[in-house]
Amino acid sequence: MWTRHPGRLLSLSLSLGSVQGVSRPAPRELPPGVSRRLYHATPPPPPPPAPSAIAQANPGENDTPTRTTMAETEPVQRELLPDDVLPVEYTLKLEPNLETFKFTGSVTIDLKVQKPVKALTLHSRQLAFDSAYIEADGVKQPVEGISTNVKDTTVTFALSEEVTAGKKTKLVVDFIGTLNDQMAGFYRSRYTATDGSARYMATTQFEATDARRCFPCWDEPARKAVFHVTIVAPKGLEAVSNMIEKRSVLLKDGRREVSFMPTPLMSSYLLAFCVGEFDFIQGTTKEGTIVRCICMPGKAADLQFALHTGIKATEFYNDFFNIAYPLPKLDMIAIPDFAAGAMENWGLVTYREVDLLLNPAKASQAQKERVATVVTHEIAHQWFGNLVTMAWWDDLWLNEGFACWMQTFCADAIYPQWALTEVYVSVMQSGALAADALRSSHPIQVPIGRAETVEEVFDRVSYQKGGSVVRMAYALLGRDKFRAGLTSYLNKHSYANTESADLWQAWEDASGQPIKDLMSSWTEQMGFPLITVDKATRAGGKVTLEVSQAWFLADGSVKEDDEKKQWVVPLIAGTSDGVQPVTYLKEKSGSIEVKTGGWVKLNFGQEIPLRVKYTPELLEDLSNVLPSLSPVDRMGMINDAVALSKAGKSSIVDLVNVMKGYKGEKNVNVWSQLISGFASLKKGLRYSSVDQKQDVNAAINRFALGLAKPIAEELGWDHKDADSDVTKRLRASVVSFVIATEDSDATFAEAKRRFDAYYADRANPLLHADIRNSVMKLVVRKGGDLAGTLRKLREIHDATDDSSLRRDLTAAMGAAPDKGALREQLAWITEGGTVRTQDMIFGFFGVAMNTTNSENFGKDVLKEYYATQYDALYSLVGETSKMIFASFVNISFATLTTEDEVVAMEKFWKEKNIEGISKTICTGMEEARSGIMMGQQFASSAAAKTSFWEGVSL
């Protein structure tokens, strides 16, 4: 159970480390139950590292510079620091100044010298060095020279004498750094205090290669060490880190020196600390671990949902892994400026505010599910990623793919009423299939030579396909063997580093099955198969299916050697008579015998990340029984139909015929796939050369509304007390779809009524979070007084600190049906000073998705902006976060409709010569060309004529 501790926030520290008789500044008045300093009387001490932890963390086999097991790639030379000297412990002291935005630091690194050296090379970036010396067996020797390599982000300390192996050696360095505004390293974040003033806090983001921006270190995941951290916090501010406080001393100048207990053995990218003024609430797991949710002052009331989820998730993982969470506390803190969604720092997880703060009374159901799954994702990492860490970045998926699936598995156990396993198939697995159907994709296990390039593979393949492959393993192994293998893997490799083969071995040992052959065929090569049923023969109550596998590509292209790709494919068949035993297709083709006299569905339960194409007869059988299939199988049917039509593997007419079978559909996750299907049809129309686009668009809308409007009218626009959570989400999806699709005066009048009521009274429930984005877009698009409407939306934006609402507002303004207004919108986003850098992409996305009059209306405005304002955009975003900037690169391709435009945009970006975006450029080009090809298919299909749609009946 979780509780909140009233009064001022006391330091969470060991009683022996508390400083008696020290007066502290009186806190401001706090809401009931919200604390200012953390307190727990006698937390357990941190666990010692595993007895052989250092030997495990730095084994010689982990230093191998090349990896040759990837099926489709040449060996890549890893750029690693020399292994002649390794870190054992860091003693780090930092003194941040939130007025000058500088920090001073000192670090003492206990070293294991394995070979004689006369120089030490560490990672360092944007640091200046005051002094350094080395101490070997108690004898100090000065450093003769300090040289930095900007390209390699290293610093080398030249020694006056050689240090031999086996000596007890320390490196001591004093340095100075900048609290940057780039959301990387040790950086500053701006927020608005309760009195309305602008203030700053300091925080960290070290993954993948930015610990070196804070202190000189061995910034590689296999170079695990113990960290002793001391922070000197400015007057009136607090400090938190991975571990609990050991001692806290008030200095004469009013600053506070806070020392923390040593961390377990861990990688440098997992170290974290935050300095600022904080509110928070806390609770305790049933095992006794303190879980705390921390935020900027005035927002603690919105932490309760995340705290409840965090406690339940920690308890769930303790039980499922059969390994207790190894630290005495788990903090989760909301950061105003944050590039990613969250970061799993061991014991101090950092989040974007929108992914931790939530008011259940005002939040949409989608927001609740987002916060819950982000929390469960990050807590999964405390075991899978932190306790056991990948040896190098080419196994990033071991962290992210596992956590991506586990977040749903855990959250579904906490909130079973949300049907989150369905959400996984609808969002995560479908996203994985879309991303991995491109030639610009990559294997889940992707060779990484230079660590700085790893940000490009923090993508849907590493996360969502990785998670889908883990989900496949769970389905094939079963819960008990899957779990036993994980527990064995985590126990064997605790505080150490691993590769994918170590996990395969654990599952093989637990199950007795040849897991490596199966899993490596899915992780060591890019892409996934299309299973085609070439022939179905019925006889004697059985159906024999002749099947073949081939690489599925979104554009349907075929090149030389494509046919060589093949997978070990589990075939799971469901029939009108039940589920059949799993069989495996290990060759390019084969047959499967199924006992049934009725319908047959392959990939039953959508357990395997692949696509299926049926014979016309089998497809008709399935179309006739769609309502009797499970929601995930109904999702799979429509998702495959959309993808096959886009790839030219089936016709657009076939897609429409499948969609007709969903009349009366009331599952929200199935509806998300139907909505994607309609979006695909309309994109094909926009990209086509059809003469009467507006008439055909109206015909598609009538078809869509024939499916959606009866459901929307039954649900209504307002939530009801008796509504379940999934009903609320169904309303959000279907009613929002109708609002966006129906061009009627009545729909607009209702949207306008609700918006006006909300503008007059922000507490008015008429514009609830589940429909507000669609309502605001419609009011912008059809409201008449465009300038006045945009002014009102910006006024609401600047007055709220609700991150989710600000995102919706920024995106909605992109629906303006005037190019001058869109230019003004982009200027307001980038120059107005009120939209955070991390949120600007939502405004650009709103403009990109503007399809006024069935055309890519925002395309010309975006192209013009990139051509004329590139330098300003790169300075604002590119120099801040390459991860965020990659989204701006990708979106520049999203609206291109001709090959000439794609080639010109490719040339534009390649001339910029920006490191770390080459994959994004390739992906953007391929997605644009896929859209162009679908436009060509649409133009040549019967669906290009209004007469076809007149014949479509429901």
Question: What is the SS3 assignment for 536?
Answer: strand
Find, among 388, 90, 103, 126, the residue nearest to 217 by Cα.
90
Find, among 35, 40, 13, 43, the residue nearest to 281 by Cα.
35
- Residue 106 CB coordination number (10 Å): 17
Burial 403-427 (b: 16+ CB within 10 A, else e): bbbbbbbbbbbbbeebbbbbbbbbb
Strand order, beta sheet including 529-539: 589-595, 542-551, 529-539, 611-613
Find, among 259, 256, 257, 255, the residue nearest to 242 by Cα.
259
Find, among 200, 459, 151, the residue nearest to 335 by Cα.
200
Indicate left, alpha or beta for 531 from its phi (over 0: left) and psi (-120 to 50: alpha): beta
Extract the tokens encoding 552: 């599925």
Query: What is the rounded distance in angstroms from the CA atom of residue 876 to the CA atom of residue 891?
Result: 17
Query: What is the rounded distance in angstroms from the CA atom of residue 447 to the CA atom of residue 443?
Result: 9
DSSP alpha helix (H) spans, 205-276:
none
Q: Is the peptide bond before 821 cis (omega within 30 degrees of 0)?
A: no
What is 692-761 written as a DSSP string? Answer: THHHHHHHHHHHHHHHHHHHHHHH-SS--TT--HHHHHHHHHHHHHHHHH---HHHHHHHHHHHHHHHH-
- The H or E element containing residue 811 is helix 803-812
Burial 586-618 (b: 16+ CB within 10 A, else e): eeeebebebebeebbbbbbbbbbbbbbbbeeeb
Helices (H) and strands (E) in the chain, counts: 28, 31
Backbone φ and ψ for 76, nearest 5 degrees, come out as -115, 130
- Residue 198 CB coordination number (10 Å): 8
Identify whether 144 is a catalytic site residue. Answer: no
SS3 content of the chain, % helix, strand, coil (to 5): 45, 20, 35
- Residue 572 CB coordination number (10 Å): 21
Query: What is the rounded distance in angstroms from the CA atom of residue 845 to the CA atom of residue 847?
Result: 5
* CA–CA–CA angle 462, 464, 466 (5° rounding): 55
Query: What is the rounded distance in angstroms from the CA atom of residue 273 to the CA atom of residue 331?
Result: 11
Find, among 247, 242, 258, 331, the residue nearest to 290 by Cα.
331
Strand order, beta sheet including 573-575: 578-579, 573-575, 600-602
Question: What is the SS3 assignment for 155?
Answer: strand
Query: What is the rounded distance in angstroms from the CA atom of residue 557 to the CA atom of residue 548?
Result: 17
Extract the tokens encoding 680: 């695909």
Residue holding tokens 């985590």?
Answer: 490
* β pairing state of 542-551 and 589-595: antiparallel
Write the CA distances from 177 to 130, 144, 199, 320, 935, integer angstroms.
Answer: 11, 22, 20, 42, 52
Query: What is the rounded distance in angstroms from the CA atom of residue 617 to the CA atom of residue 610?
Result: 21
Query: What is the rounded distance in angstroms from the CA atom of residue 164 to the CA atom of residue 134?
Result: 13
Catalytic residue among 89, 95, 378, 456: 378
CA atoms within 13 A on the CB side of 147: 9
Q: Give the residue numbers annotated as catalytic, written as ranges.
A: 378
